[in-house]
């Protein structure tokens, strides 16, 4: 058996930075391939314009994910978090979520809320693993193909 080589493949740098208007085109491509009823470019531009905490996750030169957080009155609301399909299940969603929790703390939030589809089991597992608990259900919250889908409402207390 040959010894392992020291010529390991380079690991791309992962960084989270503020999202800019120029990123919306790339964000929109991820959004449209991830959701049957995606946000529009206008929604993302509006979130940036009003000062929401919008973040872009890069893996090397590739925009691989994004998130949108609103804050105010001691609370935060995670409005959107998505990782590009080929980068999922590598811990990047967790990294982005942890970043947004820190952003909420830095903004003075004591609570952070989010909604997710009951059918999105991977997201539910991620949120539970990061201390979010279900506090309710919003009936018919999400648009769906045949009928509207409920939303699970989750909350985490920030220490």
The ranges assigned to domains in the chain are 14-157
* Residues 6+ positions from 135 with CB-CB distance below 8 Å: 153, 154, 155
CA angle 65, 85, 35 (to 5 degrees): 85
Q: Which tokens in the block code for residue 102?
A: 């820190």
Catalytic residue among 66, 127, 142, 149: 127
Say whether 127 is catalytic: yes
**Which is the catalytic residue, given 58, 75, 115, 141?**
115
Alpha helix (H) residue ranges in 85-140: 92-106, 121-129
pTM of the model: 0.90
Per-position pLDDT tens, the chain of length 159: 445 555 667 778 999 999 999 999 999 999 999 999 999 999 999 999 999 999 999 999 999 999 999 999 999 999 999 999 999 999 999 999 999 999 999 999 999 999 999 999 999 999 999 999 999 999 999 988 888 999 999 999 998
Is residue 146 part of the annotated active site? The answer reads no
Tell me the CATH architecture of domain 14-157. 3-Layer(aba) Sandwich (3.40)
């Amino acid at each position: 058996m040959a010894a392992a080589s020291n010529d390991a493949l380079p690991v791309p740098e992962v960084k989270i930075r503020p999202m800019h208007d120029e990123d919306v085109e790339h964000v929109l491509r991820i959004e449209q391939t991830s959701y049957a009823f995606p946000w529009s470019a206008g929604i993302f531009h509006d979130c940036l314009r009003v000062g929401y905490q919008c973040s872009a996750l890069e893996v090397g030169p590739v925009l691989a994910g994004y998130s949108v957080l609103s804050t105010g009155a001691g609370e935060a609301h995670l409005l959107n978090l998505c990782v590009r399909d080929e980068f999922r299940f590598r811990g990047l969603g967790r990294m982005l979520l942890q970043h947004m929790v820190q952003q909420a703390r830095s903004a003075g939030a004591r609570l952070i809320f989010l909604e997710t589809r009951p059918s999105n089991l991977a997201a539910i597992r991620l949120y539970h693993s990061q201390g979010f608990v279900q506090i309710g259900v919003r009936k018919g919250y999400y648009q769906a193909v045949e009928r509207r889908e409920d939303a699970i409402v989750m909350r985490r207390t920030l220490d």
